[in-house]
Structure 1
Amino acid sequence: MWDLWKRSMCTPGSGDPTEAAARMMDVVHYKETINPNIEHFLSQCDAYLAFNKDATVEEFVSEVKAVILDACSAFLRAPTADISAYRQLLQKLARRRVRDPRLKVFTTNYDMCFETAASDLGMMAIDGFSYTRRRRFDGKHFSYDIVRREAEGHEFAEGVFQLLKLHGSVSWSREEKDIYEDTAPTPANACLIYPAKGKYQQAFLQPHLELLSRYLEFLRQPNSCLIVAGFGFNDDHLSEPIFSAIQSNPSLKLILCDFQCITYLHNRGHHGSSDYWGRFHDLAKRGLDIHFISGSFSDLVSHIPHLRTASPAEQLAPQDAWGATTHECS
């Protein structure tokens, strides 16, 4: 959030707001000057525009949204872009036994990292969009799968996973009631939930409602494993279902990873951490199947074993905790 604040509100090379940004902060009565937050600012703008018709503020908000769109997409085109952790994750978890459930990836990020990594590996992501020339979103496509048809029958293809972008994507655009894949959506028609308090209400509009319902459905599935990495638990509409599911679904395994995990657990509610970290810690001490990993997303991926098909000899050998049960991971 701080990086987005600097990109959209500050003079390059400094943390001071531009003259235009300072003027907008004054107009909408945004007073957070010590620890400014782009989400709080946009929320303040939304509240102001709900009661005032101000073309200047509307234009500035549109410019900020354009910066966010660019920030979440342009970095992948840079020569220094490194998405090796995404590729490794898909290599390890998406190439599973064909009789196992498909890997489901839920993300609140707008970027195209998973799509790019899948393309690099020759994998296919089922993302809710049609397979027509102009791809249109329809939740029924999550019920489809890819099979390899042979002369004597058919079997599920390997390397297929489901990708559910809960807050939208920089590659989606809205046209009236339909959502289409778009290589360059504008801030006005981009189908994503911009960082603002109003995102909770937007989460109950299509296509986000369809994606959210499938996320909630997954949490109720037996023998499932949810891996959470890089999520701050600041979105209550996503955090509370996890907290409820781990208590009501006895076979759900929960793995929480963050590079400040130790700090969050020992200083609950402080250092910018969500109270959910402390609440999950309490449940873990009561014996629920919750595990904590202190490390980055790359650290987590490096420690995940390859979920490949075992040979007959390996199937007879004693299995470790990862191989004892087939889990549906996200």
Structure 2
Amino acid sequence: MMVSAVGNADTLAGLNKGELEELEESVRKTIARVVTPDLTTIQGNFPHQQFARWLAKTSRQTPVEIFTVNYDVLIEHGMETERIPLFDGFVGSHRPFFHPDSLRRKESAPGATWTRLWKMHGSVTWRRIKQDGRFRVIRGEPDPAGEMIYPSFQKYDESRQQPYAAFTDRLSRFLEQDDALLIVAGFSFGDEHINNLIFGALENRPRTHVYALQFDEPPDEADLAKRAGQRPNMIVVGPESGIIGGRRAPWVPIESPTFMATVFELKEEEPAGGDAAKLGRMKIGDFARLSAFLEAMTAG
């Protein structure tokens, strides 16, 4: 991070290189601690568990692939709670190591019933070690610092190292598949590297589609809204409006299945001298609402 820009005899904000290294390590450990919840305190039927139950009920010929920029292990916890097979690119039982061939060759990975989880920015359960003169990433229990890409000017360079480069390549190849469908939730398109992969695929492959479920309403001047206005294969679902087929319009409530109540809040406003107007707010950009919605669709 900041340390690489400071020489041995230089200072930054009054701190020498050694003090900056200590500060950087403290920042890393603080981030890792904040994003590592105590799993024993998580109540039953939490959103990631609902999401896992929905996955268990879906029939598919190809594996579901989850690309996440989160560092935590909530998805893993939800999948294991529901006893759903999950593969993350690491193999082994003592100190699982990253196996890049498993992302490139079908014969090196489990079958279609195993869900894939690709952690684009690392994990609190990863650790970089030096073995036989080479650095490698292994997976284990949550580490005080983890092995993660943090927001910094070095972020792009770090993403070109393994295993990050393999996950980036996998996302690119996923988007290049015929009729690829990527559903985005909990990602605000703040990572230019990932954005370029997604937007490039949408431009070059008209049959690739992306549904961006947004927690906050994207303004018209946002790059996401502009891209969706130019590409009919990019659908943006915001709380107040959607951008579909290149056009933005507010949500208009109509008769819908009861399970839609999970993600759509209906309101009524009484305009002066007129009939009540139905209004609504789409909440599917909230991962908790999305998970409840998916489970409701497969209930019964």
Question: Is TM > 0.5 for Structure 1 vs Structure 2?
Answer: yes
Contact kept? 1:126, 1:161, Cα under 8 Å: yes
Match of 1:276 among 199, 223, 232: 223
For 2:59, the equivalent position in structure 1 comes to 97
Higher percent of residues as helix: 1
RCO comparison, higher one (Cα < 8 Å, 6+): 1
What is the RMSD computed on CA atoms of the aligned residues?
2.6
Which of 292-301 and 172-181 deviates more? 292-301
- 1:101–1:94: structure 2 CA closer, same or farther, 3 Å change rule? farther
Q: Which residue matches 2:291?
A: 301
Q: How does 1:248-267 map to 2 (within 5 A)?
A: 248-261=204-217, 264-266=218-220
Q: Shift of the alpha carbon at 1:88?
A: 1.9
1:242 paired residue number: 198
Deviation for aligned residue 1:179: 1.3
Off by >6 Å, runs of 4+ in structure 1: 305-308
Aligned to 1:209: 165
Q: Go from structure 1 to structure 2 and tell me whether the alpha carbon gap of 1:44 and 1:172 turns closer, same or farther (over 3 Å shift).
A: closer
Please, what TM-score do these two structures have when normalized by structure 1? 0.66
Q: CA deviation at 1:133?
A: 2.8
Q: Is 1:218 the counterpart of 2:167 in the alignment? A: no
Matches within 5 A, 1:306-321: none
- What displacement does 1:171 show? 0.3
Higher strand share: 2
Q: Distance in 2 between matches of 1:243 and 1:162?
A: 23
Q: How many residues align?
A: 241
Compute the TM-score of the two structures, normalised by the length of structure 2: 0.72
Change (3 A) 1:77 1:49: farther
For structure 2, the 5+ residue unaligned runs are 11-15, 240-282
| Alignment match, 1:195 | 151
Q: Deviation at 1:224?
A: 1.6
Return the alpha-carbon distance in structure 1 between the equivalents of residues 45 and 185 of structure 2: 15
User: What residue is the counterpart of 1:4 in the other structure?
Assistant: none
Identical-pair percentage = 23
Residues 51/248 of structure 1: CA separation in 2 closer, same or farther (3 Å cut): farther
Deviation (angstroms), 1:131: 3.4
**In structure 1, the residue corresponding to 2:66 is in which secondary structure?**
strand
* Alpha-carbon distance in structure 2 between the residues aligned to 1:205 and 1:103: 25
| 1:64 match: secondary structure | helix
Matches within 5 A, 1:1-330: 44=2, 46-48=4-6, 52=10, 54-73=17-36, 75-77=37-39, 79-80=41-42, 84-93=46-55, 95-98=57-60, 100-142=61-103, 143=106, 144-146=108-110, 158=113, 160-176=114-130, 177-187=135-145, 190-261=146-217, 264-266=218-220, 268=221, 275-284=222-231, 287-294=232-239, 295=283, 296-304=286-294
Distance 1:183 1:305, change over 3 A: closer
Verify the 8 A CA contact 2:121 2:148 in the aligned structure 1. Answer: yes
Change in Cα spacing, 1:300 to 1:307, as seen in structure 2 (3 Å) is closer
